[in-house]
Amino acid sequence: MKFPWQRSGENADPSADGRAGNPASAGAAIDATARRMGRLAAATRALPIFASIPVFCLIVFVTISFIGTYTGMLQVLQSGDNSFGILGIAGVFLFILATTVIMAYSVSEMFRSGRSFWPRMSLVLTYVVTLLISVSFGFAFYWTQLEARTQAVGDAERYLTVFDREITVADTQLAGTLATLTTLNTNFNALSAAERASGNQCGEVSGGGDGPRTRHLAARAGEINALVMALTPQIASVRTEAGLVRASIEDVREIGAKTARDVTPAQREEVFRAAAGAANKAGATLEALATSQSVQNHIGDLRTWAGEYANPSLTRVEAGTGARFKCYNTTISSQLGGVAADLAALPVLPISELDSYAGAQATREALDRFWFTLTAPFRGLVDGPETQTETEREEAVRRDAIREALGTRTDDASSEGLSSTAVKQLVEGQQGLRRNDALPLGLAIVIDSLLFLSALWSQPTERFAAFSRMMRELRGEKERPLALVGGAHSIQANPDFHFLRPYVFTHFDEVYLALPVSGELTKEPATQILNTLRIAWQAGKIIKRASVSSATIERQLGAVGSPLIARLNETEAAAEAEEPYEEDREPIAASPLPLQFPKSRANFVAYRFLPGAFEQMVLQAMVPDMPGAEDEPDAPRLEPGAPS
């Protein structure tokens, strides 16, 4: 539906030719005006297209933001063990839909003029809350879609590559330690037998037999044997687990060689996770062995014994008999020292925590990281600053993995200066955002930022006009009178437009039409007819609904001296006088509900004259016989007494 001046070569005003007379007599001014109208008509034709672009963008970004937020929240909620039925899904859908719409609405209302401070702040707060919901769940969703799979597989590959190298070295070392322990045990048994036979194994000739030296070496051989019997199965267990890990790594390599068509992502993840789990368990077992108190005691004993056998002046006293003897043997000392060194240098295998590969768990982990980072400043205020170092955090992760892998053998981990609570806190320190979270988080922020901008653009007053008006209000700028606003001069000067003056106001250099929407004014014929005019103007793209509050409209109408305000006040005063409710006479209410709810203060709504259209509308009325009007084919004109 378009106005005649929005069509080329058309003019549907049937009244035009009634005053047409001679178009040439309109003069050069009208011709110039007509030429200018051609350009304005082109701009007006294009206006609906440009006006719809921000709305289109808003719809697009609201939809995208909604999809990300809804899917993310749904995945997080579905990651729990409880069933999540269709009602739950519908609830999440409605919740996120409402959240997204409220976010867009709060943006569009945030900069609306005429709002006082606290209502505006409540809108800002609403936007911030809804934005946090949208960004957090959107980030978790984008993480799952963009990064989780790559990250999990990449981590597993890197981890297993390192582990394969380390496990080979560790296995060799463990085999050497085991061999040394066995040799030591064998040597001590042989030493005891040789002492009994020859009596020359303790640095001095004793004559052999079952003397105190022989009994000492036999007892020491028994202790060594006990030590070997204790450590050998543990080391063997670690080696067995290492063997399993190496087999898993072979599986990983085998599946890695397959193409994407031959193996599903789920199968790939299962193999990776099995390998990583086996590796973690082997590493944890070995570390638990290396750091166990029994091994530490063994190491201490071995070092002590090595020192004793290396000391030629050490005189021993046999318990029970009180016999005094010396036993100096550098070979034994060296072997004991070597075994102690091997045990002290048990290898450390890398332990890693792999992220979830995909799905709800990955979304939940990402959400945890986001909120962990976001709440870090507040936790810092409550719990004090965290002073843990990177090494401490790594150590905490390692201990946590040991605790998970070994279950009951957690005492060793917690007994070395870190309580289980401290370990938990330090492990939680790993849950913050990481470098590879930047892309999904940035994507969520960009989408919501674009939603913000498009919501700002799509306001009835277009683009940043609302923001501009708010800033002007804050700066206390003065309004310009109607006559000085472009195109509006005729409202004051032309008597044909005097009827509009009570309804027209300016607001920061833009001309608006105020339409009464409540009260007695709406019952007046003038208001009803103005509403008809408004609907026709709106259909003809002359005016557009504007986001100006009723209070602002009333203030502006009052500033230009509109009689509507006086009539509005009169009718309101009369309505209040007729109200039966009198506050000072009101007895105690029998009902908790008030007798009368507060009335809405929306007495007017505003419509803004679109750029250029206002001038054309005025010109159309001023110069009804514009060139081209006589060519209108369907413009009827019924002269009085037309032939029937």
Q: State the amino acid at position 193 in one-letter form.
A: A
Q: Does 63 bind another protein (CB under 8 A)?
A: no
Q: Residues 613 to 642: which contact another protein by CB under 8 A?
A: 621, 634-642
Considering the rule CB under 8 A, would residue 580 count as an interface residue with another protein?
Answer: no
Size of the residue set binding another protein (CB under 8 A): 42
- CA-CA distance, 599 to 250, in Å (whole number)? 77
- Which residue type sits at 377? P
Identify residues 11-50 at the interface with another protein (CB under 8 A). 12-15, 18-19
Distance CA 461, CA 545 (A): 8
Residue from 3, 127, 457, 505 touching another protein (CB under 8 A): that is 3
C-alpha torsion sign, points 640, 641, 642, 644: positive
Q: Which helix (H) or strand (E) holds 604?
A: strand 604-609
Q: Report, in Å, the least distance between residue 35 CB and another protein.
A: 22
**Residue 574 binds another protein, judged by CB under 8 A:** no
d(CA 299, CA 341): 8
Of residues 533, 551, 560, 622, which one binds another protein by CB under 8 A?
A: 533
For residue 9, CA distances in Å to 27, 201, 630 come to 20, 126, 10
Judged by DSSP in three states, 544 sits in strand
CB of 635 to another protein, least distance (A): 7
Nearest by Cα to 279 from 363, 405, 414, 91: 405
Asked if 583 touches another protein (CB under 8 A), the answer is no
Dihedral sign for Cα atoms in the order 248, 366, 360, 83: positive
One residue of 61, 537, 609, 614 binding another protein per CB under 8 A = 537
Task: Evaluate whether 252 touches 160 at the Cβ level (below 8 Å).
Answer: yes
Question: How many secondary structure helices (H) and strands (E) does the chain include?
Answer: 20, 6
- Residues 250, 251, 256, 258, CA torsion sign: positive
396, 416 contact by CB (below 8 A): no
Q: Which is nearer to another protein, 10 or 155 (CB)?
A: 10
Nearest distance from C-beta of residue 15 to another protein, angstroms: 5
Neighbours of 289 (CB within 10 A): 20
Among 540, 612, 627, 628, binds another protein (CB under 8 A): 540
Dist. CA 204–CA 216, nearest whole Å: 15
Pick 59 or 536: Cβ nearer another protein: 536
Site string for another protein, 487-526 (x = CB under 8 A): ---------x-xxx-----------------------xxx
Selected binder of another protein within 446, 536, 559, 574 (CB under 8 A): 536
145 binds another protein, rule: CB under 8 A = no
Choose between 59 and 539: whose C-beta lies nearer to another protein: 539
Closest to another protein by CB, 197 vs 526, is 526
For another protein, the closer CB: 284 or 564:
564
- Closest separation between CB of residue 525 and another protein, Å? 5
**CA angle, corner 73, sides to 68 and 75, nearest 5?**
95
Between 245 and 511, CB nearer to another protein: 511
In the bound complex, what is the minimum distance in angstroms from residue 567's beta carbon to another protein?
11
Task: Give the distance, in angstroms, between the CA of residue 502 and the centroid of all CA atoms in the same chain.
Answer: 51
Of 98, 529, 559, 602, the residue at the interface with another protein (CB under 8 A) is 529
Q: Which is nearer to another protein, 279 or 491 (CB)?
A: 491
258 contacts another protein (rule: CB under 8 A): no
Which residue stretch of 2-10, 137-145, 407-415, 601-609 sits at the interface with another protein (rule: CB under 8 A)?
A: 2-10
- Count of Cβ atoms closer than 10 Å to residue 530 Cβ: 21
Q: Is 441 exposed, middle or buried, given 0-12, 13-18 or 19+ CB atoms closer than 10 A?
A: buried
The token pair at 339 is 């075994």
Does 97 sit near another protein (CB under 8 A)?
A: no
- Piece of the chain touching another protein by CB under 8 A; list 60-68, 178-186, 348-356, 530-538: 530-538
In this structure, are strands 315-317 and 324-326 parallel, antiparallel, or unpaired? antiparallel
Residue from 314, 539, 566, 595 in contact with another protein (CB under 8 A): 539
Residues that bind another protein (CB under 8 A): 1-4, 12-15, 18-19, 496, 498-500, 524-526, 528-533, 535-540, 563, 621, 634-644
